[in-house]
Structures are given as C-alpha cells and as structure tokens.
C-alpha cells in the first residue's frame, strides 16, 4: 500500500520568508496529492491539491510542485505570515483508494 | 449547508468500557473516512467507506475496533473494551465522489480519553 514520508517535522521561519515542505510517496499509481492545514483544536482543512497530469499549481502565496518520476511533491509558502503557523499534512492516493497522510510539519512563523 | 459533524466532541471513559463515536457526513457525500490522531502526531488511517463497495478496514488496529455506515450516510466507530492507548482524537472526513478523489472535508473530531 501507499506510504507517504514528510519532512521536516518542524520548521521555524521569520515573517516574510518562504517555507518549503517536502513529501515522498511510494505507490506509482497515486494520482492525487492534497495538502491540508490543521490549526489547534480543529480538523484539517484543504489548502491546495494537485493531480498527476500537472507539474505545478499556484494559489496566491501557496504553490505545490509534483515530480512523478521521482515520486515527490512539495508545498511552497511565500511571504509567510504569523497566521500561517499551523501543522501541515501532505497526502497521496489513487482513484477510489484511501487517502494516506504524511506525518505532518509544524510550521512556526515568527513576527 | 452544514459540514461534517462528529459527536460527542469529548468523551471520557473507563478502561474496559465500550464507546461509540458518531459521524454525520456532508449530505450527498459518498466517501467517508475515519482517522486517529494521537497527541502531536499524524493522521493514522482506520477505515474507508466508498459508496456501495466493501469498506477498506485495513487500518483498524485490532478486532476491538469496528465501524458501520448505515444507509450510506451516518457512520459509527465502535471501540470495545477500551485501553489507555486508545486515547486520541478520532477524526471523520467525507468527500463527494468515491470514484474520483475530490476534497475530503474533516469534522472537528472526538477527543477520547480512557482513564
């Protein structure tokens, strides 16, 4: 089955700097890669997703890149703000299969 | 409309007792997931219901854990003879389509404490 690894486990950046979180997956059949943000005491919320037919997707300050050959994908947050502080999870799956999550990255943005 | 609703939000139970956790998915969503999140940890997959197909139970940690989804809507996760290591937040999520992956919406979770 699918296995997703995520790095780093914690990340501290200064406000305004960029943050990058990286994930690798094992199942070459995976074709959907969402990223979730979890704030304290809340359930995770989708912030961006990418399918295997594209290599990059951007939404304002957030972008995701996918390298299917190497089986890794990354989340890029530019111009970080204190409200970006949260735990971020990557996930991977194929059609009709279950979502498997990475172990999470705790991002802290210092003013 | 309403999002994914889970109840209770908090549950304290004595070791050895059975507990039932409830999930009301978003209306019309055909896929439903249960995950377990221990303190400060990641999302551990438990079970996945996908439309009318047989559920994927491969993540259930022991035979003390079971789940049902009645009428393709509400789901109940049951833990029998609870142990202290079962203490965690149990998260439910639903998504619109079980044949092509779409956004999974999470509930707020049920925090289970076994004393």
- pLDDT, tens only, A68-91: 999 999 999 999 999 999 999 999
B33 and A34: CB-CB below 8 Å?
no
B33 and A99: CB-CB below 8 Å?
yes
Q: Give the per-residue pLDDT at B32.
A: 94
pLDDT tens digit string along A41-62? 899 999 999 998 889 999 999 9
> Average pLDDT of A25-54?
93
> Average pLDDT of B11-28?
97
Q: Give the per-residue pLDDT at B1.
A: 54
Lowest mean pLDDT among B20-24, B28-32, B79-83: B28-32
Q: How confident is the model at residue B98 (pLDDT cuts 50, 70, 90)?
A: low
Q: Min CA distance, B82 vs chain A (Å)?
A: 23
Please check whether residue A79 is in contact with residue A16, taking contact to mean a CB–CB distance below 8 angstroms: yes
Q: Min CA distance, A91 vs chain B (Å)?
A: 10
Tell me the DSSP string of chain B: ----EEE-SEEEE-TT--EEEEEEPPTT--EEEEEEE-TT---EEEEEEETTSPPB-TT--STTEEEEEGGGS-EEEEE-S--GGG-EEEEEEEES-SSS--PPEE---EEEEE-
A103 and B35: CB-CB below 8 Å?
no
For chain A positions 48-107, those within 8 Å of chain B (CB to CB) are: 49, 89, 93-104
Give B-chain residues touching A43 at CB under 8 angstroms: 4, 91, 93, 106-109
Question: In the structure encoding, which two tokens stand for residue A64, read together?
Answer: 């995701």
Q: Give the per-residue pLDDT at A54.
A: 87
CA distance to A20, A66, A76, B17, per residue, from A58 (Å): 14, 12, 9, 48
SS3 state at A20 = strand
SS3 state at A12 = strand
Q: How confident is the model at residue B45 (pLDDT cuts 50, 70, 90)?
A: very high
> Average pLDDT of A16-21?
98
* % pLDDT > 70, chain A: 99
């Amino acid at each position: 089955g699918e296995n997703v690894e995520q790095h780093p486990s914690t990340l501290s950046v200064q406000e305004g700097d960029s943050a990058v979180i990286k994930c690798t997956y094992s199942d070459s059949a995976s074709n959907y890669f969402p990223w979730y943000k979890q704030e304290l005491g809340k359930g995770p919320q989708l912030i961006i997703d990418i399918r295997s037919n594209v290599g990059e997707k951007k939404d304002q300050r957030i972008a995701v890149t996918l390298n299917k050959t190497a089986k890794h994908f990354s989340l890029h947050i530019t111009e970080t703000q204190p409200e970006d502080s949260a735990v971020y999870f990557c996930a991977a799956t194929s059609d009709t299969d279950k979502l498997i999550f990475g172990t999470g990255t705790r991002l802290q943005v210092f003013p | 409309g309403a999002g994914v609703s889970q109840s209770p939000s908090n549950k304290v139970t004595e070791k050895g007792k059975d507990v039932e956790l409830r999930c009301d998915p978003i209306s019309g969503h055909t896929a439903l997931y249960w995950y377990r999140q221990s303190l400060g940890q990641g999302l551990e997959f438990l079970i996945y219901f996908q439309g009318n197909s047989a559920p994927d139970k491969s993540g259930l940690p022991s035979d003390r854990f079971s789940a049902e989804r009645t009428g393709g809507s509400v789901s109940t996760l049951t833990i029998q003879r609870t142990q202290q290591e079962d203490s965690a937040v149990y998260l439910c999520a639903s998504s619109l389509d079980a044949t092509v992956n779409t956004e999974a919406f999470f509930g707020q979770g049920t925090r289970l404490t076994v004393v």
